[in-house]
Structure 1
């Protein structure tokens, strides 16, 4: 069986199947979808980049309808697992950030199942875990969340309470310095 990458040569596949192929490619842009001569002529391969977190990456089907069903199912499963994986990684990053901030003398509380201002849209949606940070009791508090940032290929980032990105979550030391400076400055202004 010879795989044909991209579009099949003219005459190898009908105009109707070419239209179906184009339809699938439009509906599932994260996949390279093609057609080859063989028992299962429809194939799809996931485009994997730096944000790839695992899951199904290759499919074969005997019909366009079967391929559509397989792709839809894989997308649903991958989305569910990716969300759980991102949430677990965000909790770990926030835990590491919390320890660093405590080391700088800040009051830090790790909160789970927190919905951050429903009217504020962050790349990752609603936060499930957040840090509240203050210099001292009664001082202004900032809420720090950790979410995937689509504009950075889905990498985790820390966000402040205004929904502004602070720093990539893998840069905990840098984020600690930025947050400490911001919270300290806010406390000075409120005195």
Structure 2
């Protein structure tokens, strides 16, 4: 019953979030998370080829440090040709304590309604050597958020921007329920309301019964 209620709240919340895509996955039990002793450093884009960009650094938030100040990404995009672009975002185990096997990772992408875009979210595993790493000891198998971006509109003006801007939030969820962290405050509020309503249940039940019997 609890699971059904939680899923209803998730669907209700997602339904009112315009221009938002979400995606969740579980880090495989067999996956050996690469060690990363250093903390997160500043985010920047690197071009891999004509249609693919890579971010090797990106913050991963959780329930205790939910900060979205570094979530904005400006990706170069040709609004005239509207070719599909791919963005790969590496997940790093910062300070060797950011995430582990069996953790649930949630990805939320939001963009403005100025231009219609299609965003597809998934994840993939790639080896470091695919990005030029030559040291066999550093050839780690890493998790990447895989984002496909393609414009879906007909431009009637020529003065178009050179970037597509969106917000990307990657978070480690506190439990196995695929519920975005920002929804937890809503759930807590609803639970508090239910607790406060408990003493009134007998009166409500009595009122309903008397109304039905009439």
**TM bucket by the smaller chain?**
under 0.3
Compare relative contact order (CA 8 Å, sep 6+) and give the higher one, 1 or 2.
Answer: 2
TM-score (norm 1): 0.24
Structure number, greater radius of gyration? 1
